[in-house]
Structure 1
Amino acid sequence: MNEVNQPHVLAEVNAVFDAYEVALVTNDVAALDALFLDSPQTLRYGATENLYGYEAIRAFRAARPGKGLARTVTARVVTTYGDAFAVTNIEFRRPGEARIGRQSQTWMKTGDGWKVVCAHVSWMEPARAG
């Protein structure tokens, strides 16, 4: 049996990732907090910050301004491995922003559902013609 991208697991991860995206652009801090694993091992490397542990991630979300979060996902790859591990990767653009945003997340299925255990956000300058 192929353990990569089992249809029912892929559907679960796509659904929770869609919920994450809605929570992110609407600044639903409670929903975002609920989607990260409450653990000192959870980490998030942001575009301007390195956050180690759930409490640091939670504090960052609580303090972050809720404006300017809209974005358009321009590429998306979701891959599941077995029934309890997945990675999600997107490219995105923000209105008026020339740079390309990138986000990678590692998800683990727990007794409380799918949780982000590791996340990374970065920016890439667009390729210049020439």
Structure 2
Amino acid sequence: MTINDPVLLEEVTAAFMEYERALMEDDIPAMDALFHEAPTTNRYGVGEVLYGIEEIREFRKGRGGSPQRKLGKVSIVVYGETCATADAEFFRENSERRGRQTQTWVKFAEGWKVVSAHVSLEGSTH
């Protein structure tokens, strides 16, 4: 198995950065387009547990946008031709607290999609 094929790594990195842009601009259609449209797509957030793309979409519609943040260290690894992970540290505006985000990406016919995501803040007790 090839790890970090340069072409695929570039593709996943571009998808990851497009998601970050969409998140910061509250571009819901773009965020939705980057998540796999399936009941098996899940997202655990700082205060929510969402099973399936429909729950994720409903959360985004009612959220009113993400708190603004800056990325810290980002690690993207591509395994073979169709699977990748993206791990990122982030820092919300006006906070020293470090956040962490993990995404699992799978390459489908229509491109790279998030199939699982987890967001947490360092020091959270729940």
TM-score bracket, normalised by the shorter chain, equals over 0.9
DSSP 3-state at the match of 2:13: helix
DSSP 3-state at the match of 1:87: strand
Q: Distance between the aligned counterparts of 2:2 and 2:37, measured in 1? A: 27
Unaligned runs of 5+ in 2: none
DSSP 3-state at the match of 1:79: strand
Alignment match, 2:38: 39
Matched positions, count? 123
- The 4+ residue runs of structure 1 with deviation greater than 6 A are none
Letter in 1 for 2:59: F
2:79 to 74, 78, 81: 81
Alignment match, 1:22: 21
Letter in 2 for 1:74: G
Larger radius of gyration: 1
* TM-score, with length taken from structure 2: 0.94
Q: Distance between the aligned counterparts of 1:82 and 1:62, measured in 2? A: 35
Q: What is the Cα deviation at residue 69 of structure 1?
A: 2.6
Q: What is the Cα deviation at residue 95 of structure 1?
A: 1.1
* TM-score, with length taken from structure 1: 0.91
Q: Distance between the aligned counterparts of 1:15 and 1:87, measured in 2? A: 13
Are 1:27 and 1:69, in contact at CA under 8 Å, matched by a contact in 2?
no
Q: What is the Cα deviation at residue 64 of structure 1?
A: 0.6
Q: Distance between the aligned counterparts of 1:62 and 1:73, measured in 2? A: 23
Q: What is the Cα deviation at residue 28 of structure 1?
A: 0.2
Name the % identity.
46
